[in-house]
């Protein structure tokens, strides 16, 4: 394994916070060792070695001018281990950040629970988890930077609760430290597993970033997460256009063009402060589903987008993608942010793996969680809208549809195969099933259509500009609505449909 340089707590603060802005919150730690005991001597030695009086330091500073609270481990103090005094310091800092309404940055680097204090220290991880959860329940952001190494109870508590979690390149990150594993099992831990880059590939962290990039990414994330929900500039509604009559099959054909703009182009050209996220945070990732923090016209949101670029016949949208979508729904709930879902899928996976991965159950859970979500919701039908994989992201307060987008229980070719045992009747069935944007508007399934001139694939930048202007207006209007009335209207809407 490549050797990773350990970054001290104060080095981290110097690299991330504005110069001269750090204010320590720490007081003299509680005495936890019998005076004159070997453990007391260890603590004295650790303090001299680390230059800190405990295994973590806490306080506040400014990050690109924004006040933030920080809890950072000092690994040189008894391997960053957490005993009673360190746990109490951490909890007091999290509680203060919550009281003062500050976003919190956690930067662990630890071997876990302090063995010298045993079970009493071990159960202290519960109060740490409770404090972090209370902070998040207040709608305040919690960002985590996993440093080298982060293991044990620290990873299993405050190291794994971030809204956004990134890791230091090459960092050792794992629950059971490799030295302990080898002592217990008589063999080295498999190489390359407990490494930041592998965790990223498995969807456990959102990014792997050097410390030099941390301030800029954290600032972008906080621009979204701490953005005002009230007093936003009024974005005028884009005038609605008269749409020419286009057969359903022609719209379907246009929606399948590879040049058609997707969620990535919408974010790149139409949004600001975009911070991509990655995976479920629980060991899965599906590139067919994109999660990001973003702002449209100043309005902050969580974006869930079906990514046309990463859906192929060999790799369609699967159960893991819908579990990623549910992560985004949880974030919207915790952070009290609007959720924007982008539908653009040729259909969810039809495979042994998808069935065994619980695809149907994930569609059901997405539907139930999204329709009941207490945050404002906005859905965009951007391209193809095939089957349960599309419907799973649709229930929303407002539904916007690109002119040549469509929604259907299955591809028209599939409907033709069921009814006629061929695919030749697909255009006929597309016309009769009411799948077009104008049909969806007539039936109350969508609320407005964004025109394409003559096809979004031929004017991607212009189309994205129109769509992003509509999104900014709609988000601004949703943020002004009463939450209880908004949810009641959403439930009434879907009670009428179908």
Percent of the chain having pLDDT more than 70? 99
Confidence grade of residue 7 (pLDDT, cut at 50, 70, 90): confident
pLDDT digits (tens, 9 = 90+) for 398-441: 999 999 999 999 999 999 999 999 999 999 999 999 999 999 99
Torsion region of 80: left, alpha or beta (phi above 0 gives left; psi -120 to 50 gives alpha):
left
Whether the CB-CB separation of 326 and 366 falls below 8 Å is answered with: yes
DSSP symbol at 103: -
pLDDT at 409: 95
List Cβ neighbours of 480 (8 Å cut-off, separation of 6 or more): none
First to last CA, the chain: 57
- d(CA 42, CA 461) in angstroms, rounded, equals 63
pLDDT at 270: 98
Please say if the pLDDT value at position 1 is more than 50. Answer: no
Whether the CB-CB separation of 208 and 166 falls below 8 Å is answered with: yes
pLDDT at 182: 85
3-state secondary structure string across 137-160 = HCCCCEEEEECCCEEHHHHCCHHH
CA distances from 485 to 228, 336, 478 (A): 21, 16, 11
Confidence grade of residue 290 (pLDDT, cut at 50, 70, 90): very high
Please say if the pLDDT value at position 367 is more than 60. Answer: yes
Please say if the pLDDT value at position 79 is more than 80. Answer: yes
Confidence grade of residue 96 (pLDDT, cut at 50, 70, 90): very high
Tokens of 31: 């005495």
Domains defined for the chain, CATH in brackets: 9-224 (3.90.226.10), 242-496 (3.90.226.10)
Q: In angstroms, how far is CA 339 from the centroid of its own chain? A: 11
Burial zone of 411 (CB within 10 Å; 0-12 exposed, 13-18 middle, 19+ buried)? buried
- Higher-pLDDT residue of 186 and 105 is 105
Residues for the chain: how many in total?
Answer: 498
DSSP symbol at 232: -
**Residue 274: which H helix or E strand, with range?**
strand 272-277
pLDDT digits (tens, 9 = 90+) for 205-250: 999 999 999 999 999 999 999 999 988 888 999 999 999 999 999 9
pLDDT digits (tens, 9 = 90+) for 137-183: 999 999 999 999 999 999 999 999 999 999 999 999 999 878 888 88
pLDDT at 176: 84
Beta-strand ranges (E) seen in 336-465 are 339-345, 377-385, 398-402, 448-450
Average pLDDT, the chain: 96
pLDDT at 2: 54
Whether the CB-CB separation of 54 and 85 falls below 8 Å is answered with: yes
pLDDT at 3: 63
Burial zone of 5 (CB within 10 Å; 0-12 exposed, 13-18 middle, 19+ buried)? exposed
- d(CA 211, CA 164) in angstroms, rounded, equals 15
Confidence grade of residue 348 (pLDDT, cut at 50, 70, 90): very high
Please say if the pLDDT value at position 114 is more than 90. Answer: yes
Using DSSP's 3-state secondary structure scheme, residue 436 falls into strand
């Amino acid at each position: 394994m490549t050797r990773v340089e350990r970054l001290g707590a104060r080095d981290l603060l110097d690299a991330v916070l504005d110069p001269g802005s750090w204010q320590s919150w720490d007081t003299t730690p509680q005495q936890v060792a019998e005076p004159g005991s070997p453990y007391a001597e260890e603590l004295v030695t650790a303090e001299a070695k680390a230059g800190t009086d405990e295994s973590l330091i806490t306080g506040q500073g400014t990050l690109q001018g924004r006040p933030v609270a920080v809890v950072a481990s000092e690994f040189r103090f008894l391997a960053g281990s957490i005993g009673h005094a360190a746990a109490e310091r951490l909890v007091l800092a999290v509680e203060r950040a919550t009281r003062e309404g500050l976003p919190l940055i956690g930067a662990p680097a630890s071997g876990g629970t302090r063995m010298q204090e045993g079970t009493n220290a071990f159960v202290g991880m519960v109060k740490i988890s409770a404090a972090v959860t209370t902070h998040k329940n207040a709608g305040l952001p919690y960002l985590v930077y996993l440093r080298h190494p982060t293991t044990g109870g620290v990873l299993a508590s405050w190291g794994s609760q971030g809204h956004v979690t990134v890791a230091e390149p090459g960092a050792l990150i794992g629950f059971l430290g490799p030295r302990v594993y080898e002592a217990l099992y008589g063999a080295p831990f498999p190489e390359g597993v407990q490494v930041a880059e592998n965790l990223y590939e498995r969807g456990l962290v959102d990014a792997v970033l050097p410390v030099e990039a941390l301030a800029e990414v954290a600032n972008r994330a906080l621009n979204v997460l701490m953005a005002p929900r009230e007093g936003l500039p009024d974005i005028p509604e884009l005038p609605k256009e008269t749409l020419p009559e286009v057969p359903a099959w022609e719209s379907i054909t246009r929606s399948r063009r590879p040049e058609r703009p997707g969620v990535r182009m919408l974010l790149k050209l139409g949004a600001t402060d975009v911070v991509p996220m990655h995976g479920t945070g629980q060991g899965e990732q599906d590139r067919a589903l994109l999660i990001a923090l973003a702002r449209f016209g100043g309005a902050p949101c969580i974006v869930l987008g079906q990514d046309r670029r990463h859906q192929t016949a060999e790799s369609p949208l699967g159960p893991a993608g819908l579990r990623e979508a549910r992560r985004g729904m949880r974030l919207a709930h915790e952070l009290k942010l609007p959720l924007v879902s982008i539908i653009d899928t040729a259909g969810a996976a039809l495979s042994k793996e998808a069935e065994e991965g619980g695809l149907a159950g994930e569609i059901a859970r997405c539907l139930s969680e999204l329709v009941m979500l207490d945050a404002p919701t906005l859905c965009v039908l951007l391209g193809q809208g095939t089957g349960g994989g599309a419907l799973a992201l649709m229930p929303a307060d407002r539904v916007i549809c690109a002119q040549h987008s469509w929604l259907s229980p299955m591809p028209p070719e599939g409907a033709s195969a069921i009814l006629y045992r061929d695919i030749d009747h697909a255009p006929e069935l597309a016309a009769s099933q009411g799948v077009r944007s104008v049909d969806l508007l007539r039936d109350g399934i969508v609320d407005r259509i964004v025109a394409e001139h003559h096809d979004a694939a031929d004017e991607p930048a212009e189309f994205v500009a129109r769509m992003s202007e509509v999104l900014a207006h709609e988000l601004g209007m949703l943020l002004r609505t009463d939450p209880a009335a908004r949810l009641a209207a959403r439930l009434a809407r879907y009670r009428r449909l179908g």
